[in-house]
Structure 1
Amino acid sequence: MRPLVYEQTRFSPRVIFDAGNGVFEMEGTLMLEDNKVFFQTINRWWRIYQQSPNPQTKIVCKLNYYTLATDNFLMQWLYVLKDIPNVELIWYYNPDDWEMQEYATTYQSNYSFVKLKEEKVR
Structure 2
Amino acid sequence: MICRRHVGRGAGAVVLLLAAAGCSDSAMGQLVYTTPAKRKVAIQSPAVEACHRLPGGAYSVDNYTLYDIRLYTNADCVLTPAGQDQRGQIGGESFYLATQASVAFTPGQSPWLSYYVIPGTS
Q: Same fold (TM over 0.5)?
A: no
Give the structure with the larger helix fraction.
1
Larger radius of gyration: 2
